[in-house]
Structure 1
Amino acid sequence: MELIATDLAERLGRWSSGRGPLYVLLAARLRRLIDEGELPPGAPLPTDRALAPALAVGRGTVVAAYDELRLQGRIVRRQGSGTRVAGPPEAALTRGTTGASVFLHLLEPKQDVIMLACAAPDSPPPELAEAYARIAPRLAAISGDIGYHPSGHPALRRALAEHYTARGVPTQPEQILVTGGAQQALSLLARAFVRPGDHVLVEAPTYPGALEAFREEGAVVRGLPVGLAGLAAAARERRPVLAYAVPTFHNPTGAVLSALARRRLVEEAAGAGVPLIDDEVLAGLAFPGTEASPGGEAGPGGEVTPPPLAAYAPRGEAVVSVGSLSKVAWGGSRVGWVRAAAPVVARLARLRAVRDLGGDVPAQLAAAELLPRLDAVRRRRAVERRARHDRLRAELARHLPEWDVPPVAGGHTLWVRLPQGDGTSFAQAALRHGVAVLPGGGLDASGGSREFLRLHFVLPEEELSEAVRRLAAAWRAYDPSARRGGAPPTMAV
């Protein structure tokens, strides 16, 4: 089966951000994917006519790149049978790896590219360093502990249980699993619940890391509207093994599910017998002054964190909550967690024990120290993020007024609708102007959202302004309407 051009475009990563002719850069990146086994022998490649628009380049660029690879013996081109990776088709010796842009950008050197793809604070707060300083004496005094805690260090499990109890979800430490970030939590949940061919319900669009985690286990991922509207009917039709939602500052749209919709969602999932994952990673990122939803938890700056979905479930056991310090504090701490029924946590701990025996103990002790002190971090960063959100929207309105950029009340991202074209090909044009963005198609399991981009506003304001200037230059080069209205055509008589 021929590889879809837009899928290959995403797997190519930041292929065009180097120096040299585009066809040379394209050939080099394709050669690397072939040599690393990402494009196995016999794999059919998109036609040059299909790949060129997906990469926002002329057809001649793809033809020249394919010719280079043919001369190097990497591909075979035959009229009537298309273009294939050289070598006989064979069963893959290794499992495929991710082709999601959000991960591939992390694997690339930054070079001179402004990253609007992966949204997270770019420096740890001073409170985190202070937490490490406070735990140093405790660390030095440890004795009789080999440091392997697959379920998480008891101190952090207790602190997280108290955190959920204070939010209206009574929780015991045995209901907490500490993970190496929320992404590992999602991967463990997918491993525990999903078998190849099982159906998983997600919002369309949604966080691409969740899509990758479910697909890694062979799931058939089905998209529903944001908020998982229609879950009950979809559950009857598909018999899913999991449902996944981001109800608070939804990634990527920024939407917040109302209290009534939260209750209905939990009831529908419970009635269908479908475990419901509540991704709370962004839940603490409300802007100052955001009005409360009923039952919301008021923060120190007047911002409100809506109640977790588990608050609407009896004993909170029908919902699996996933959280992390990555977006509130710093991604480099790699501390996340799962809050679920004790039997689920025990199963996840057994799966984790096989993989890494447990997480970094100093990081967990520091997280336990930091958790009760997060309000100061949230308050300071909420003001900063609001200013950056406003700056990015103002710059987009000034330089790209035709783009539709709705405001959000929190989180890290804007969901931008392009007036024409598609996000995948424009993302390629943006890369050539030094900006990495996420095209909407890669975030939508239903195949939609191709006219959208996800942009984050976490960078300093001056850098956001420069990013928009580059995006505007890319849009002028990409937008077909920019090439209209020139001199009238010469008439032939």
Structure 2
Amino acid sequence: MSMDPAALADRLGRWSAGRGPLYLLLAARLRRLIDEGELAPGTALPPDRTLAAALTVARGTVVAAYEELRREGRIRRRQGSGTRVAGPVRPGPRESTGAPVFLHLLEPRDDVVLLACAAPDAPPPALPAAYERALARLREVTGDIGYHPLGHVRLRRAVAEHYARRGVPTEPDQVLVTNGGQQALALLARAFVGPGGTALVEAPTYPGALEAFREQAAAVRTLPVGLDGFGRAVRDRGRRPDLAYVAATHHNPTGAVLPPLVRRRLAAAAEAAGVPLVDDEVLAHLAFPGRDTPPPLAAYGRTVISVGSLSKSVWGGLRVGWIRAPRPVVDRLGRLRAVHDLGGNVAAQLAAAELLPRVESLCADGAADRRARHDHLRTELARRLPDWQAPPVPGGQTLWVRLPHGDGDSFAQTALRHGVAVLPGSGLDASGGSREFVRIHFLADHATLTTAAERLARAWRAYEGGEPDRDTPPSRALAV
């Protein structure tokens, strides 16, 4: 398949109608066409000069846009073979859907062990019980049409009490309920980081956050994990970011936990500079036994914005998340949300309100099992792949594994051909680094993790032996 420059220009539409650098606006529009399946995997894109002429822009604009998409893994650029949308469609019934290319990570082939997307693989018994209590409450509802753009008051109150128990006094009107943590990040990106704006993130970081910022055609700047150098970055008036994003507790993907002193410094620097600081707390409750974690980042600063969700602590199918923020921020986000979404599922919110007072104990109940799975996977990797570096983590769900040589992108493709999906590090690093890393979760049962380690070892032998690089959808993109 080859895309005619004029036809692509038509599909791009009014791509330049926005604020910010042209290359970011062009990359954002191309990204959407790729993710929505309008540019199919394997499609040959026009050469730089040809597309630039069709769009009447400088060649450098196209080159820079293509480079953004190449770093994200959405396109491939090879000398002699041009530029193509990453990964031709695999044969089989799943490919007839025209779904975005990242969905092969969420819905893999039946024979693939999925270690790229981390989430509990079954709802706990407490969830059906919570729904039963929620449905009983629904039977009593009168005088309520069911639209709650800011979230059902019962859940907003439960979230406020959840933070108060953790040392962060919170009122219900400081809480906005969302359809999961990803919607929360998308709303924050839309509110604070428009086209041409700048988001400051860790490198590496959660790829869903990068997707949210890039969807707004924003530039992304990076600092090391823990945001070392944050004070200088937010004081630089010429390059001050519009928003900063951090995962202070059980960082995705490294598992790091920021100490209290660093939290205090980050919160103080952000407040002094007037930069919104977003703390992703989705993994905060997943500590291993005997591992204490500091108070939330919001305990150290009045302006810190917290994002939470039950997708990791309970189940990914419970699409309930929230934003805790100062009241004016919640009001602003509520107006933005109402434009696209008049409210979430009330039954799910009532069930979440039943669960939230118990979420710490639910996570504690499963902590020993999570640590056992973590230890088992590390043991299997050490036995079969002794040259790999897989440091232990104090909690969370993933290992950040350094390969002894090569790069995670090409190895992830080899691994997928051997029946195991892992996430290459480049998709989590906006700086273009982390190419020697892969992210692997340890939530599967012991037998599955053993199988995965066996397949990874076979894949590594094939990779080292120079197995031919057959085109396969890369294991990048919106992983969780």
Q: TM-score range by the shorter chain?
A: 0.7 to 0.9
Q: Return the offset for 1:456.
A: 0.4
Q: Return the offset for 1:375.
A: 3.4
Q: Secondary structure at the match of 2:317?
A: helix
Match of 2:380 in 1: 395
Match of 2:276 in 1: 275
Q: Secondary structure at the match of 1:331?
A: coil
Point out the more displaced range, 396-405 or 371-380: 371-380
For 2:46, the aligned partner's letter is A
Correspondent of 1:374 among 327, 349, 359: 359
Match of 2:295 in 1: 307
Query: Take 2:373 and 2:316, find their aligned partners in 1: how far apart are those partners?
Result: 19
Query: Take 1:150 and 1:395, find their aligned partners in 2: how far apart are those partners?
Result: 47
Task: Please give the per-residue CA displacement for 1:396-453, whole angstroms capped at 9, x wherever unaligned.
Answer: 0000000001000100000000000000000000000000100001100111100000
Match of 2:127 in 1: 128
Q: Return the offset for 1:137.
A: 1.9
Correspondent of 1:466 among 415, 431, 451: 451
Q: Return the offset for 1:83.
A: 6.3
Query: Take 1:175 and 1:82, find their aligned partners in 2: how far apart are those partners?
Result: 51
Q: Return the offset for 1:167.
A: 1.0
Superposition pairs for residues 164-183 of structure 1, below 5 Å?
A: 164-183=163-182
Answer yes or no: is the 8 Å Cα contact 2:36–2:100 preserved in 1.
Answer: no
Query: Take 2:231 and 2:40, find their aligned partners in 1: how far apart are those partners?
Result: 38
Q: Return the offset for 1:110.
A: 3.4
- Does the C-alpha gap of structure 1 residues 349 and 479 become closer, same or farther in structure 2, counting only changes over 3 Å? same
Match of 2:231 in 1: 232
Q: Which has the larger radius of gyration?
A: 1
Point out the more displaced range, 378-387 or 463-472: 378-387
For 1:471, the aligned partner's letter is L
Q: Return the offset for 1:84.
A: 7.3
Q: Secondary structure at the match of 1:203?
A: strand
- Does the C-alpha gap of structure 1 residues 271 and 38 become closer, same or farther in structure 2, counting only changes over 3 Å? farther
Answer yes or no: is the 8 Å Cα contact 1:438–1:453 preserved in 2.
Answer: yes
Match of 2:258 in 1: 257
Match of 1:71 in 2: none
Task: Please give the per-residue CA displacement for 1:137-185, whole angstroms capped at 9, x wherever unaligned.
Answer: 2111111111010000000000111111111111110000000000000
Match of 2:476 in 1: none
Unaligned runs of 5+ in 1: 4-31, 46-53, 55-61, 67-78, 86-96, 291-303, 484-493
Match of 2:105 in 1: 105
Task: Please give the per-residue CA displacement for 1:202-242, whole angstroms capped at 9, x wherever unaligned.
Answer: 00000000000000001100110101111122220521100
Match of 1:203 in 2: 202
Match of 2:46 in 1: 43
For 1:251, the aligned partner's letter is N
Q: Return the offset for 1:33.
A: 8.8
Query: Take 1:458 and 1:378, find their aligned partners in 2: how far apart are those partners?
Result: 13
Query: Take 1:143 and 1:357, find their aligned partners in 2: how far apart are those partners?
Result: 19
Query: Take 1:44 and 1:143, find their aligned partners in 2: how far apart are those partners?
Result: 61
Answer yes or no: is the 8 Å Cα contact 2:422–2:439 preserved in 1.
Answer: yes
For 2:351, the aligned partner's letter is A
Query: Take 1:441 and 1:41, find their aligned partners in 2: how far apart are those partners?
Result: 23
Query: Take 2:206 and 2:83, find their aligned partners in 1: how far apart are those partners?
Result: 33
Q: Secondary structure at the match of 1:333?
A: coil
Q: Return the offset for 1:353.
A: 1.1
For 2:334, the aligned partner's letter is A
Unaligned runs of 5+ in 2: 4-33, 49-69, 71-75, 86-97, 469-480
Q: Secondary structure at the match of 1:442?
A: helix
Query: Take 1:117 and 1:84, find their aligned partners in 2: how far apart are those partners?
Result: 24
Answer yes or no: is the 8 Å Cα contact 2:44–2:83 preserved in 1.
Answer: no
Answer yes or no: is the 8 Å Cα contact 1:98–1:212 preserved in 2.
Answer: no
Match of 1:352 in 2: 337
Answer yes or no: is the 8 Å Cα contact 1:283–1:306 preserved in 2.
Answer: no
- Does the C-alpha gap of structure 1 residues 432 and 372 become closer, same or farther in structure 2, counting only changes over 3 Å? same
Match of 1:89 in 2: none
Q: Return the offset for 1:194.
A: 1.2
For 1:240, the aligned partner's letter is P
Q: Return the offset for 1:109.
A: 4.1
For 2:313, the aligned partner's letter is V
- Does the C-alpha gap of structure 1 residues 342 and 140 become closer, same or farther in structure 2, counting only changes over 3 Å? same
Q: Return the offset for 1:43.
A: 3.3
- Does the C-alpha gap of structure 1 residues 240 and 137 become closer, same or farther in structure 2, counting only changes over 3 Å? same
1:426 and 2:425 aligned: no
Answer yes or no: is the 8 Å Cα contact 2:398–2:442 preserved in 1.
Answer: yes
Query: Take 1:280 and 1:81, find their aligned partners in 2: how far apart are those partners?
Result: 43
Q: Secondary structure at the match of 2:135?
A: helix
Query: Take 1:401 and 1:481, find their aligned partners in 2: how far apart are those partners?
Result: 20
Match of 2:215 in 1: 216
RMSD between aligned residues: 2.8
- Does the C-alpha gap of structure 1 residues 161 and 408 become closer, same or farther in structure 2, counting only changes over 3 Å? same
Correspondent of 1:442 among 419, 422, 427: 427
Instruction: Give the number of equivalent residue pairs.
Output: 395
Point out the more displaced range, 110-119 or 435-444: 110-119
Answer yes or no: is the 8 Å Cα contact 2:36–2:99 preserved in 1.
Answer: no
Q: Secondary structure at the match of 1:200?
A: strand
Query: Take 1:38 and 1:238, find their aligned partners in 2: how far apart are those partners?
Result: 37
What percent of counterpart residues are identical? 65
Match of 2:289 in 1: 288
Query: Take 1:351 and 1:444, find their aligned partners in 2: how far apart are those partners?
Result: 28
For 1:123, the aligned partner's letter is A
Query: Take 2:232 and 2:82, find their aligned partners in 1: how far apart are those partners?
Result: 42
